[in-house]
Amino acid sequence: MDQKRCAVASKESLIRIFTVPEAPDSTLSKIESEISSNLAGFLNENIAAIEKPLHEIEKDFQTATIPEEPTFVSDYAQDIMEQLVAHSVHTAAPSFIGHMTSALPHFVLPLSKLMVGLNQNLVKIETSKAFTPLERQVLGMMHHLAYGEDDSFYSKWMHSAKTSLGAFCSGGTVANITALWIARNRLLKANGDYKGIAAQGLIAGMLHYGYKGLAVLVSERGHYSLGKTVDLLGIGRDNIVAIATGENNKVDVDAMRKKAHELEASGIKVMALVGVAGTTETGSIDPLNEMADLSEELGCHFHVDAAWGGATLLSSNYRHLLSGIERADSITIDAHKQMYVPMGAGLVLFKDPAATDAIEHHAEYILRKGSKDLGSHTLEGSRPGMAMLVHACLRVIGRKGYEMLIDRSIVKARTFADMIKQDEDFELISEPELCLLTYRYVPKEIQAKLKEADEETKLDIYASLNRFTASMQKRQREAGRSFVSRTRLTPAKYDHQPTVVFRVVLANPLTSKAILKDILAEQKELAKTDPVFKKYLSKYMD
């Protein structure tokens, strides 16, 4: 056997993959040492700058047969460097400002390896004796951040076998599902002969309580995960009611109140209101206090989806923007967004320690009654120790460190908004409330043309601008120097017509003002050669 490459080459040596590490000069060991000492450099060097078309990449992943024979680890590592790493998306690049996925602090790398090595399963104490108390502490810290209860509250509940103050999960989607699962089960609770929805199901519950349907009300900018949630909970996608937003992209609470009363008058019970603290498309925060008032009026659950914006609570300078969140029955926060934790770290918090009673599950071999197993209150079963990475970031970065990171992102977004406003060929579409904004490129000649255009010409220009913006975004991504994302809004400025815009999220601490300047300059250059512009818009340029 090839000693240097060791590991798996024959079936006889398979046992060795559990004990013998790679030889130091093998490909895998080199990767390992490079990513530990210089992750940013490794990514810069190994991710190809120019995009390879997806159908080309797919050619390397064609075969559906599982390989019969073992392979050298080094050979495999070589393959993935060429086929996988080279064509990965450089989410950590400071010019990658299109999505909520950003750079990671270096210390999470060795800690992630430790987490994987320990391979604890958080579903039950028997496989996570120290990780369970740690996760309960992290949930307590985040609960305290949002709800600010006193010490006696946390000493009573944080490690209590009766409850969990929240639930760790893979992300905001599962967090939202968990929150509304609790809302549904608390609404259709046991009563008289009816043993509750968990025992008897939705239909018996609806008949017992005399509801024709259940509804969840949320801003039209609510996240698509809520659609999945109501589908899964048996409420139905038609019963997630989208409420209009005003010009600031915040939900219109008066319209929500009116809709809620209409629904209830027709026999449909409003199960929950969902406030969004940091919408995915514009980063706006709904009027949470007004929504809390409305949910009290209606006697329904109030959930805040702060998957993206929740980390703002860590800044004493900006946490007031989320004022009213402390009145929510449940809150979703994704640590893998603005808390710089790797993917797979979402959490939901419950105001009332008794909330988890509504979804408590027990089993005989684990999750026994009276045990502190977290699995009796989570939707997911086996789960990794991601809480350790949140714990690490909270300790290493600290509340003040997060405050600095968050404040800088917000200031940077305002600076970028100013740069856009100062350039007469760009238009800011949504002002940043946090560090997310939208804009588009509309040459001043076209802006002038729009002012005097008749209705038909206007609509033609709108449609052409949409195509053009989409084309620019795609070409910028393909050129590989920088990346902004795009979405579609309906701003008053464009007569509430569907309007394609660039969307940027300025969470990477390494994104500088110079980089932002370059991105605008690059877009100006791209516009000059854009085929869609030439075809549909150049005629309006004189």
Ligand X SMILES: *Cc1c(COP(=O)(O)O)cnc(C)c1O
Which of the stretches 16-24, 229-237, 304-312, 347-355 binds ligand X when contact is defined by CB under 6 A?
304-312
Residues 6+ positions from 190 with CB-CB distance below 8 Å = 196, 199
Single out the residue of 457, 463, 455, 422 nearest to residue 439, CA to CA. 422
Q: Is there binding between residue 326 and ligand X (CB under 6 A)?
A: no
**Nearest distance from C-beta of residue 437 to ligand X, angstroms:** 15
- Alpha-carbon distance of 381 to 143, in angstroms, equals 22
DSSP for 48-97 reads: -SSPPPHHHHHGGG---SPPSS---HHHHHHHHIIIIITTS--TTSTTB-
Sole binder of ligand X in the list 275, 346, 375, 443 (CB under 6 A): 346
**Nearest distance from C-beta of residue 390 to ligand X, angstroms:** 14
- Alpha-carbon distance of 143 to 510, in angstroms, equals 30
Handedness of CA 278, 280, 283, 287 (dihedral sign): negative
CB 292 within 8 A of CB 302: yes
Q: Is there binding between residue 225 and ligand X (CB under 6 A)?
A: yes
Q: Is there binding between residue 91 and ligand X (CB under 6 A)?
A: no
CB 124 within 8 A of CB 362: no
SS3 state of residue 200: helix
Q: Closest CB to ligand X among 143 and 223?
A: 223
Q: Closest CB to ligand X among 176 and 471?
A: 176
CB 338 within 8 A of CB 406: yes
SS3 state of residue 164: coil
**Nearest distance from C-beta of residue 225 to ligand X, angstroms:** 5
Sole binder of ligand X in the list 136, 186, 208, 223 (CB under 6 A): 223
**Nearest distance from C-beta of residue 74 to ligand X, angstroms:** 35
Go through 358-379 and write b for each residue having 16 or more CB atoms within 10 A of its CB, e for each that does not: bbeeeeeebbeeebbbbbbbbb
State the angle between helix axes of 398-422 and 513-528 in degrees (0 to 180), rounded to the nearest 10. 30
Q: What is the per-residue binding string for ligand X in 234-273, x denoting contact by CB under 6 A?
A: ----------------------------------------
Give backbone dihedrals phi and psi of 96, rounded to 5 degrees, phi first.
-90, 90
Sole binder of ligand X in the list 135, 281, 329, 334 (CB under 6 A): 334
Q: Is there binding between residue 171 and ligand X (CB under 6 A)?
A: yes
Q: Closest CB to ligand X among 122 and 446?
A: 122
- What tokens does 476 get? 């910028």
CA distances from 15 to 12, 116, 236, 295, 518 (A): 7, 19, 50, 59, 53
Q: Is there binding between residue 275 and ligand X (CB under 6 A)?
A: no
Report which secondary-structure segment, H or E, holds 181: helix 172-187
Which of the stretches 7-15, 158-166, 303-311, 464-472 binds ligand X when contact is defined by CB under 6 A?
303-311
- What tokens does 453 get? 């255009």
Q: Closest CB to ligand X among 223 and 477?
A: 223
Sole binder of ligand X in the list 173, 239, 282, 523 (CB under 6 A): 173
Q: Closest CB to ligand X among 334 and 530?
A: 334
Q: Closest CB to ligand X among 283 and 375?
A: 283
Sole binder of ligand X in the list 147, 302, 308, 494 (CB under 6 A): 308
**Nearest distance from C-beta of residue 324 to ligand X, angstroms:** 16
Q: Closest CB to ligand X among 280 and 378?
A: 280
Q: Is there binding between residue 340 and ligand X (CB under 6 A)?
A: no
Q: Is there binding between residue 307 and ligand X (CB under 6 A)?
A: yes
Number of residues that bind ligand X (CB under 6 A): 13
Which of the stretches 170-178, 263-271, 368-376, 467-475 binds ligand X when contact is defined by CB under 6 A?
170-178
The residues binding ligand X (CB under 6 A) are: 171-173, 176, 223, 225, 276, 280, 305, 307-308, 334, 346
